[in-house]
Structure 1
Amino acid sequence: MSKDIKETFWKALADSPYVMVGLTGERMHHVPMNAQLDKDANSAFWFFTSTDNRLVPGGPAMAQFSAKGHDLFACISGTLRAETDRAVLDRLWSNGVEAWYEGGKDDPKLVLLRFDLDDAEIWTADPGIKGIFKLMTGMTMKEGELGDHAEVAL
């Protein structure tokens, strides 16, 4: 099951790459970020941001994700650090990113953060016909009738 749920997670994240990210142990609210995915890197994703973003110091972090259709949820742990490889910045750069940075790739406020993924808890919400019937009639749900849950290494 965990391989299937991992694949489902990556597909859902590619379809809607928006996550809420915060530094572990900080009392500041998490911030919405647009994850930049690399199909060849399944243990990291990146965020373009500016030097004044509260995530820039890096360190242990958590990200929360909800799929477009609210049929998959994930809490992801990992480590944020500055990405210094210019080739990665060039590969992930797009017109959509450029719109945020007046100086383009050389904007002095531009920071590329890499989120190295450790593990995640992933939940799917797909009740199936039996689960839908139970929900509609108020019958007692049993574990697994609403969806799957897995703790996975990413």
Structure 2
Amino acid sequence: MQVDQEENTKVRHRMWKELSKSPFVMIGLVGSHDHHEPMTAQLDPDADSEFWFYCNKDNRVAKGGEAMAQFASKGHDIFACIHGTLTEETRQEIFDKYWNNQVEAWFEGGKEDPNVMMLRFDLKDAEIWEGDQSLTGKFKMLTGQTIDAREAGKHAEVTL
């Protein structure tokens, strides 16, 4: 079921909130035949149009460009396919801002590792599915009845 602009905004904010709880996505470059890979997004809680990744300079997405990221929330009630652009983040203050012990564990040389880099994912658009079924929809699903689209959750196509 498509939703109006106000609902799109609510769904987008809910997706961002869920992504902050479980910041793991599958990401890959558009047009590449390389498989997408899991990465941990570094999020700014006050922004909803960009996030960052630390990776090795020889990582399959390190060259940047048009990319797609897929996300499923912990409770599997939000799913998203996010389209955007990966660009090397060169601002040292951003690199330092998100560096933490979990990130450091991936890089033998820590912050000074010559192979570490940061990518910024600038979101362009996303397709988001919110699987918050209505009580009637859940009952129908349990009893094998046909579920109407309005009872199955929300679907938003969002341009950022």
TM bracket, shorter-chain basis: over 0.9
For 1:45-102, what per-residue CA distance to the aligned partner results, in whole angstroms no more than 9, with x for missing partners? 0000101210001100000000001000000000001100000001011111112222
Distance 1:17 1:148 in 2: 21
| Unpaired runs of at least 5, structure 2 | 1-6
Runs of 4+ that moved beyond 6 A: none
Aligned to 1:24: 30
Specify which of 59, 68, 93 is matched with residue 53 of structure 1: 59
For the residue of structure 1 that corresponds to 2:20, the secondary structure is: helix
Once the two structures are superposed, residues 95-151 of structure 1 have per-residue CA deviations (whole angstroms, 9 ceiling, x without a partner) of: 111122222212101010000100100001111210011111221111121110000
- Measure, in 2, the Cα distance between the counterparts of 1:124 and 1:43: 19
RMSD over aligned CA atoms reads: 0.9
Structure 1, unaligned runs of 5 or more: none
Distance 1:39 1:132 in 2: 32
Query: TM-score w.r.t. structure 2 length?
Result: 0.93
User: Does structure 1 residue 90 correspond to structure 2 residue 93?
Assistant: no
Q: Secondary structure at the match of 1:102?
A: coil
TM-score w.r.t. length of structure 1: 0.97
Match for 2:45: what amino acid?
Answer: K
Bigger CA drift: 142-151 or 34-43?
Answer: 34-43
Distance 2:79 2:24 in 1: 12
User: 1:1-154 residue pairs with structure 2 within 5 A?
Assistant: 1-154=7-160
- Letter of the structure 2 residue corresponding to residue 18 of structure 1: F
Task: Report how many residues are paired.
Answer: 154
| Alpha-carbon distance in 2 for matches of 1:2, 1:97 | 32
**C-alpha contact (below 8 Å) 2:20/2:45 kept by paired residues:** no
Q: What is the identity percentage for the equivalent residue pairs of Structure 1 and Structure 2? A: 55
